[in-house]
Chains A and B, each alone.
Chain A
């Protein structure tokens, strides 16, 4: 019987010699050009990280191709980043250009460093999730095709982190992204009274609703949804399979902006609602791609150097964001969940547009 509880492979056995020798003794790093980082240690030794974009969904043959490249140029040492990129780790400066040429010939985009748009973090979507309101890999591929140049260059005021989650469960927590793409439902779940008794637990289904819209329906040994209070988050469906909520005609995507994870300059911030609904339009989600490109381009032309999207909007004001991007402001933008009043304007300090 196989041993259990052995934990992951020890990272110390995965480190290239130049890292083992200089672990904890790095002095500084520089971005030589998009996708090429140079790290210099206190002893003067150099490590180079060549960053290439990759889809998150990869086949074993694709991984073997990556291994072939890493063996040819980096003695078999590489890593993945927290945003699904690949980093080839080498200490031989002369192998950088041949590696970049080979990556380009094989269609690997080299970049994602500095003031660029890095890879889009995303969830499973229609590929493998049981509660999606949209696909994930598809919109990500469609969007990266259109903003490819922002990955391989570093021309933006600051770096832009985009993430996609296929429903409000937000696996991967896209809620602190410069631009978040979020799958949403817009219709109430349809309770199947015949199945609720044997596949659902009434108390936990009732407790699963953020707005208390679900109550027990003892007569039918089932539950009932108060349609005014339901905002279609789908959590009841997560705990009770007899409450399907997916609706091909009305599900779609919402766009959120201005989130930030790091503490640099300003504090971590949630993304805020920019566009409440765009239709699911596979295979290339043109409305979503257009909306995100528009936001990027308005940001690129108006923000100051080092200003993330959220910092730029906080400086110029949300009314300016909506007027510059042309995105309509609606009552859906106004919060009505807990602590909503914290987001209401309590001052006469505002701009006319």
Chain B
């Protein structure tokens, strides 16, 4: 089941990152899939982070998640 959800989450990230906005709060991600269990979506996001498909970004106060390919180079 989580494989399917993983694919859907990854595609949603691609779709939502088409505009200027590349960084999303985890709450945005869970809201993209309102009738999925919140914890399931969060766990899938964690797996994608482990696999470095997604990456965390934080200035220290709050934390965003984004597709790895959009991670700002220094």
Chains A and B touch each other in the complex, with CB atoms below 8 Å apart: yes
Contacts of B62 in A (CB 8 A): 239
Interface residues, chain A, with chain B CB atoms under 8 Å away:
130, 169, 197-198, 201, 238-239
Q: How far is the CB of B5 from chain A (nearest CB, A)?
A: 24
A198 with B61: CB separation less than 8 A: no
Total B residues in contact with A, Cβ cutoff 8 Å: 6
Q: How far is the CB of A350 from chain B (nearest CB, A)?
A: 42
B21 within 8 A of A: yes
A-B contact pairs, 9 of them (CB 8 A): A130-B59, A169-B61, A197-B20, A198-B20, A201-B21, A201-B23, A238-B59, A238-B61, A239-B62
Q: How far, in angstroms, from A295 to B61 measured CA to CA in the complex? A: 34
Q: How far is the CB of A43 from chain B (nearest CB, A)?
A: 47
Interface residues, chain B, with chain A CB atoms under 8 Å away:
20-21, 23, 59, 61-62
Q: How far, in angstroms, from A238 to B61 measured CA to CA in the complex? A: 9
Q: Which of chain B's residues has its CB closest to A235's CB?
A: B61
Q: How far is the CB of B33 from chain A (nearest CB, A)?
A: 20
Contacts of B20 in A (CB 8 A): 197-198
Contacts of A239 in B (CB 8 A): 62
Q: How far, in angstroms, from A73 to B21 measured CA to CA in the complex? A: 58
Q: Which of chain B's residues has its CB closest to A238's CB?
A: B61
Q: How far, in angstroms, from A169 to B59 measured CA to CA in the complex? A: 14
Q: How far is the CB of A31 from chain B (nearest CB, A)?
A: 39
Q: How far, in angstroms, from A167 to B61 measured CA to CA in the complex? A: 14
Q: How far, in angstroms, from A238 to B58 measured CA to CA in the complex? A: 12
Q: How far, in angstroms, from A62 to B61 measured CA to CA in the complex? A: 30
Q: How far, in angstroms, from A278 to B67 measured CA to CA in the complex? A: 46
Q: Which of chain A's residues has its CB closest to B22's CB?
A: A198
Q: Which of chain B's residues has its CB closest to A241's CB?
A: B59
- A sample of 6 more A-B contacts (CB under 8 A), given A197-B20, A238-B59, A238-B61, is A130-B59, A169-B61, A198-B20, A201-B21, A201-B23, A239-B62
Q: How far, in angstroms, from A282 to B25 measured CA to CA in the complex? A: 39
Q: How far, in angstroms, from A201 to B17 measured CA to CA in the complex? A: 13
Q: Which of chain A's residues has its CB closest to B23's CB?
A: A201
Q: How far, in angstroms, from A238 to B20 measured CA to CA in the complex? A: 19
Q: How far, in angstroms, from A169 to B62 measured CA to CA in the complex? A: 13
Q: How far, in angstroms, from A130 to B21 measured CA to CA in the complex? A: 23
Q: How far, in angstroms, from A36 to B61 measured CA to CA in the complex? A: 39
Q: How far is the CB of A149 from chain B (nearest CB, A)?
A: 37
Q: How far, in angstroms, from A238 to B60 measured CA to CA in the complex? A: 10
Contacts of A198 in B (CB 8 A): 20
Interface centre among A169, A201, A239, by most chain B C-beta atoms within 10 angstroms, is A201
Q: Which of chain A's residues has its CB closest to B60's CB?
A: A130
4 closest residue pairs by CB, A with B: A197-B20, A198-B20, A238-B61, A201-B21
